[in-house]
């Protein structure tokens, strides 16, 4: 199901099934699966490298976009790793306004522009959330709801 959500969300950058399976055997990789009413509605894969959490992929089932689930998933991940890392990093297509808005709302800042980062030539923003910045992380904490409560 995670594979299918990823496939419907990403055209050129979709992960293969083998790619997702491989993640499960990597000790620095953590996989998150969000369920609602017994149905998988979202997922994320995060790499923990030293004190950094790299969000490698993240997605919500397309027909459920815009209901706050992406935000909830991100809050869950941040709270889960809050004690283990000092910052979150990710790359996002410059055209992905919905995701960029979500990340900015959560306190992420644009760190750099990665020129022609994607295979189709699109640029990426590298975005970063410094947990020591405190306030947004605190906001995430206050808004925390377990995805399984959704």
Ligand X SMILES: CC(C)(COP(=O)(O)OP(=O)(O)OC[C@H]1O[C@@H](n2cnc3c(N)ncnc32)[C@H](O)[C@@H]1OP(=O)(O)O)[C@@H](O)C(=O)NCCC(=O)NCCS
**Contact footprint for ligand X (CB under 6 A):** 9, 58-60, 65-71, 90, 92, 96-99, 101-102, 105
| Cβ distance to ligand X smaller for residue 9 or 86 | 9
| Cβ distance to ligand X smaller for residue 19 or 68 | 68
**92 pairs with which residues across the strands?**
125
| Cβ distance to ligand X smaller for residue 25 or 89 | 89
Say how many C-beta atoms besides its own lie within 10 A of residue 85's C-beta.
Answer: 19
Say how many C-beta atoms besides its own lie within 10 A of residue 5's C-beta.
Answer: 21
Contact 89, 52 (CB under 8 A): yes
Residue 2 has what DSSP assignment? H
Q: Least Å distance between CB 67 and ligand X?
A: 5
């Amino acid at each position: 199901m995670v594979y299918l959500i990823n496939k419907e969300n990403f055209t050129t950058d979709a992960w293969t099934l083998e790619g997702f399976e491989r993640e499960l055997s990597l000790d620095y990789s953590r996989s998150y699966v969000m369920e609602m009413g017994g149905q998988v509605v979202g997922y994320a894969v995060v790499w923990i490298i030293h004190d950094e959490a790299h969000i490698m992929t993240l997605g919500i089932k397309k027909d459920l976009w815009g209901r706050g689930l992406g935000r909830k998933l991100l809050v869950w991940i941040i709270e889960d790793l809050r004690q283990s890392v000092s910052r979150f990093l990710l790359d996002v297509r410059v055209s992905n306004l919905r995701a960029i808005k979500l990340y900015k709302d959560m306190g992420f800042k644009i760190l750099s522009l990665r020129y022609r980062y994607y295979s189709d030539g699109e640029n990426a923003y590298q975005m970063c959330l410094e947990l020591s910045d405190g306030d947004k992380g605190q906001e995430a904490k206050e808004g925390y709801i377990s995805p399984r409560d959704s």
